[in-house]
Structure 1
């Protein structure tokens, strides 16, 4: 009996795939900060929005994984090989490159800076002055470690690394949340949908940090490398289900921590740890430091990986992790982010441009993959059912609102 159980557990973990990469990708410093501020400003009342974001992410990631397995192509390859109008296809590819490559390069600086913020709880790296530029050696160290891991690893080894980091984040933030001894009756009330005008933008931000366009490209690419045809669908669904739900639980734990903070001024998650320290001592600070460092490191790996897969897919280049094209593409994205972070440069123009492109891209890509998933000529027996498409339509409306919010932010409307 014990032997059979051990074999079942071994088979279970052996057949799980790149889902933790997706969880690691959306639990970055941005998500940690947004969830923290949601808790600080509105208590437990927006926990329902995280449930909504988890459901939307699960649905869209499942479609992208199913497309990857069914077609043997990722979304960028499928876009390049589509037989649609040439002008439309060209515009789509340019938009994807702008949103994902430039966006990931810009936000990579935040990932690296976030990881260093967590590192500073344990060790503050020296700052060096070079004329008008100030070199943050901690950021440089995080970036160098990320680049080395991407260069020496393969997809399997990276999956194992992400599993370890996601587990580390989960333990760090969950233990911190439990230490705060939240009012569970209020916590449960937070799962009942309700909002006011002041909460609206935070709701959109909570969903927007979880439903990430580049994760759709990333999972389709990794899923078609991991599983083949219909026999892999069941494992893919278990893989992405467990990973996204675990990531959502981590986000909820972070929100609980924020709701319990006694800090008077909060701009990021590390400010919350200062508010917890008088009651819980240094434990909370160190746990938050570990969680923030792991969140920054995972996102600093997934952002250049996803961007490189998109670049190579669109141009028809080799997507092997150790291929010259992948290494050059990953290096360019990571080095740009490292430069911005290490020298304190704020890539405002790039962020603005990527926000605009993402605002247009999210509803277009989500609508496109929902349409592809429903086509029997493309998906065969793996096409979406009519009932599923009704649910996907509701999710598409959510992505449309998120896209309009991003565009509105760029033009100062929201």
Structure 2
């Protein structure tokens, strides 16, 4: 067990990707508006993530391919390959551009409240964050990137779990929230957002690629599973902690919020004056971790689908993540309200998820590719149930919007 703890990596990178400012914002709004009621959606999203990410990791190790490469190989027709490539690349690039702007702007929300930088013509925190992400990615060193992201996940875990503990929640109500599913009036988009903030489509590409950087073949699938289970469950606990904290300090008092950082001011009675700095640190870790993983995942997905080299130091690979990072920096500098950009990205990914999950399921049932590591009937059953539920939620969210 202890040996395996030192081997974690790709799963933690997945957790770092989905615990971004989007998670913090959506979970805070969920707790503020609906209390503990939507905790079941967090639990479902963790289960869905475990099922799909395990498939992605198995594809990388047993199939020795990234998801993008596998899709490219399976679709051989000229026009169908062009269509599917544009569909998936477009979805990943659009989603990640929205995420990247939200990651960068969301990360500095806390420090804006603690300084005067928000009033400057150009907030120096925004390009500063982008530069840190750029330097880590440009290093081309997988282990450095992996360890940096693990540190950020650990920071978020300490911050948000401690905040939930200090808020003194109602544990019976928490259990009811997890095990008595409800969709209150006007909560459907929030449910889709909670699922979309955890079951992130681009993570399927990221995971299938990074397990190949970490491990060597199918004999290490058990290590990859342990890494996935531990990391995703920890990520789900962090998300649930934010919902719980918000339910205690915002929902019970009926406080209206403008952004997720309003949570910090309401925590002052529980944590003292340090609450602002403490929560700001959590936001910084959330934003920086996702600002690194979003461009990285876009590069893996696009390179695989285009048949390019998926190497951290390859020129085409670097060009893709630089494009995504730069797009996020430009949009963030326009001064959009972070909450609007982030929620758009969350809902968009909730709608796009069924398309990419269907590609994964199709690929995992290719015996020629996967051999004896093909999906079992149980894995297929769980996969199709998750696919069906996310599809229904996506359709309902469109109807609700229009």
**Alignment partners' CA distance in 2, 1:97 and 1:52:** 27
Tell me if 1:397 matches 2:377: no
Q: 2:167 matched to which residue of 1?
A: 180
Q: How far does residue 368 in structure 1 lie from its aligned partner after superposition?
A: 2.2
Q: Could you tell me which of 185, 190, 200 is aligned with 1:202?
A: 190
Q: 1:98 matched to which residue of 2?
A: 90
Secondary structure of the equivalent of 2:198?
coil
Secondary structure of the equivalent of 1:317?
coil
**How is 1:23-172 mapped onto 2 (pairs within 5 angstroms)?**
23-120=15-112, 122-125=114-117, 127-128=119-120, 134-172=121-159
Q: 2:28–2:246: 8 Å Cα contact kept in structure 1? A: yes
Provide closer, same or farther for how the CA distance between residues 356 and 116 of structure 1 changes in structure 2, counting only shifts above 3 A.
closer
Question: What TM-score, normalized to structure 1?
Answer: 0.89
Tell me if 1:376 matches 2:376: no
Q: How far does residue 356 in structure 1 lie from its aligned partner after superposition?
A: 9.6
Q: 1:58–1:244: 8 Å Cα contact kept in structure 2? A: yes
Provide closer, same or farther for how the CA distance between residues 142 and 406 of structure 1 changes in structure 2, counting only shifts above 3 A.
farther
**Alignment partners' CA distance in 1, 2:128 and 2:238:** 26
Deviation per CA, 1:160-217, whole angstroms, max 9, x where unpaired? 0111100000000011111101111211221122313333322221111111110111
Q: 1:343 matched to which residue of 2?
A: 334
Secondary structure of the equivalent of 1:181?
coil
**Alignment partners' CA distance in 2, 1:365 and 1:388:** 17
Q: 1:5 matched to which residue of 2?
A: none
Provide closer, same or farther for how the CA distance between residues 404 and 266 of structure 1 changes in structure 2, counting only shifts above 3 A.
same
Q: Which runs of 5+ in 1 are unaligned?
A: 1-7, 129-133
Q: 1:222 matched to which residue of 2?
A: 210
**Alignment partners' CA distance in 2, 1:118 and 1:328:** 31
Provide closer, same or farther for how the CA distance between residues 280 and 226 of structure 1 changes in structure 2, counting only shifts above 3 A.
closer
Q: 2:220 matched to which residue of 1?
A: 232
Secondary structure of the equivalent of 2:108?
helix
Q: Could you tell me which of 309, 312, 320 is aligned with 2:311?
A: 320
Secondary structure of the equivalent of 1:191?
helix
Provide closer, same or farther for how the CA distance between residues 354 and 267 of structure 1 changes in structure 2, counting only shifts above 3 A.
closer
How many pairs were matched up?
398
Q: How far does residue 345 in structure 1 lie from its aligned partner after superposition?
A: 5.5
Q: 1:263–1:272: 8 Å Cα contact kept in structure 2? A: no
**Alignment partners' CA distance in 2, 1:356 and 1:265:** 22
Question: What TM-score, normalized to structure 2?
Answer: 0.91
Q: How far does residue 382 in structure 1 lie from its aligned partner after superposition?
A: 0.5
